[in-house]
Amino acid sequence: MRKIFNEVASLDKKCYEKFSLNEELLMEHAALALKKDIKKNIKAFDSTVLIVCGVGNNGADGVTLARLLQNEYKNIHIYIPFELKSQMAILQYKRLKLLGLNFIKDLNKVKKVDCIVDCLFGSGLNKPLNEETNTIIDKLNEFNSYKIACDIPSGIDNKGVIKTTAFKANKTITMGALKLSLFTDSAKEYIGKLKVANLGVSDIIYENDSNMFLLEKKDLKLPFRDTKNSHKGSFGHACVVVGCKKGAGVIASSAAFNFGAGLVTAIVHEELQLPYYIMQSHKLPSNVTAIALGMGLGLYDKNELKQILNTNVAKVIDADLFYEELLLDYLNQEIILTPHPKEFCSLLSLAKLADINIDTLQNNRFEYVKMFCKKYPKVTLLLKGANVIICQNDKLYVNTLGTSALSKGGSGDVLSGLIVALLAQGYNYLQSAINASLAHTLVAKKFQGNNYALTPKDLIKGIKSL
């Protein structure tokens, strides 16, 4: 689990004021991190490296890199399309001129490049790109090269929004610490692999406290059974309410059983053809320890819904319930909500927090998640997307491990089943959401078939061998 920050200028400032480091020293370390990655991935001396530099300190990182790469490769091209503005960029440019490196004036004359380093803009971009910059980025994206973004791909602004175009990197080397703008859904297409560059001091010294975190594979805590003296009741009784779209409830029930719940009961109005290990009942059993409802719910008796929601056990809510006003009565208690963007827009509207469309939400995912969880601090919210956001009160977690293979009907039902299984076994609300989400995404990542072919059955099978 790694800390995420809204910005790092304050962290840089701490290095200057508290540890007597300076801007130039941090810049040298930033350029060294870029150089190290290039040397690792571009082996041949006769390779061509193109470094595209902007007017500020991100551009200065690129100019510094060019100096460090001198004589490491046959062709080092530096392209500076606009007049430099920052004092550090001007200083680094002066040094480069004295060394006699090769500046190019026309990007269209460059025919073959082995490596491109994008140093146009850093994570502080706060305005739309002009037409000339868009043209430059589009041209860079056309090259069949190994592409590195310095700090963040140019075109992604300080909120993680792409207004026109963005540099599509194979790897992003971000400076000092992780920034929240790296983790929007739209940014995911452009980031590539993500690495944090050390700027001369350890993370412990460089970073401050944060209430935002990036989840990693090693954070997964599976429900292994360490107690020898146990029985099926030791691992909880999960119940899944099966609505009129019965497949959703069946999938969730199977997922819950395969993720360690000792007992699983499908709450049904009519007998279904279910796996023999899934029990069926018309009402909640007295020993239920967690409930999942909403998936495939469709038209369901409101009084019966209220009875289920009033049951004093842990619950995970999904899908159709996010369109029901009665849900508002239960948002001041501990509960897990797992909406996708459209459902979250409905929930925001019901809660009278915002009346927005999906595009507006997707451009401000973190803002609206924080807004909702501030109003309902007992709720654990899991917002689905290319990157999953999990938030409880003022703590926010991002899971970037998902793939497009999960963009299939039934994937969310599996997730609900995994969450209710962990709730049933005694995980708390936040632990259940985090660990179920990690398991869900890691199984999809490990899937060996074509990424368009993943099914809920494959996910459930994969859970067994994580």
Residue 341, annotated as binding a ligand: no
Residue 59, annotated as binding a ligand: yes
> Strands across the sheet with 102-104, in order?
102-104, 75-79, 48-53, 115-119, 146-150, 171-175, 193-197
Q: Are strands 395-399 and 212-214 parallel, antiparallel or unpaired?
A: parallel
Residue 57, annotated as binding a ligand: yes
Q: What is the torsion angle, in degrees rounded to the nearest 10, for the CA atoms of residue 238, residue 243, residue 248 and residue 251? A: 40
Residue 125, annotated as binding a ligand: yes
Residue 126, annotated as binding a ligand: yes
Residue 127, annotated as binding a ligand: yes
Residue 128, annotated as binding a ligand: yes
The answer to whether the beta carbons of residues 196 and 220 sit under 8 Å apart is no
The answer to whether the beta carbons of residues 100 and 132 sit under 8 Å apart is no
At 315, give phi and psi (nearest 5°): -140, 150
Residue 262, annotated as binding a ligand: no
Residue 243, annotated as binding a ligand: no
At 171, give phi and psi (nearest 5°): -145, 140
Residue 221, annotated as binding a ligand: no
Among residues 433, 332, 317, which one has the least CA distance to residue 375?
Answer: 332
Residue 122, annotated as binding a ligand: yes
Q: Are strands 115-119 and 279-281 parallel, antiparallel or unpaired?
A: unpaired
Residue 118, annotated as binding a ligand: yes
With vertex at residue 294, the alpha carbon angle to CA 241 and CA 338, rounded to the nearest 5 degrees, is 125
What residues form DSSP beta bridges with 75?
Answer: 48
Residue 61, annotated as binding a ligand: yes
Residue 155, annotated as binding a ligand: no
Q: HSE on the CB side for 20, CA within 13 Å?
A: 0
The burial of 385, by beta-carbon neighbours within 10 Å (0-12 exposed, 13-18 middle, 19 or more buried), is given as: middle
Residue 124, annotated as binding a ligand: yes
Residue 359, annotated as binding a ligand: no
Residue 123, annotated as binding a ligand: yes
The answer to whether the beta carbons of residues 127 and 153 sit under 8 Å apart is no
Residue 383, annotated as binding a ligand: no
Task: Measure CA 259 to chain center.
Answer: 23
What residues form the annotated binding site for (6S)-NADPHX? 57-61, 122-128, 151, 248, 296, 340, 413
What residues form the annotated binding site for AMP? 412
What residues form the annotated binding site? 57-61, 118, 122-128, 151, 154, 248, 296, 340, 412-413
What residues form the annotated binding site for K(+)? 58, 118, 154
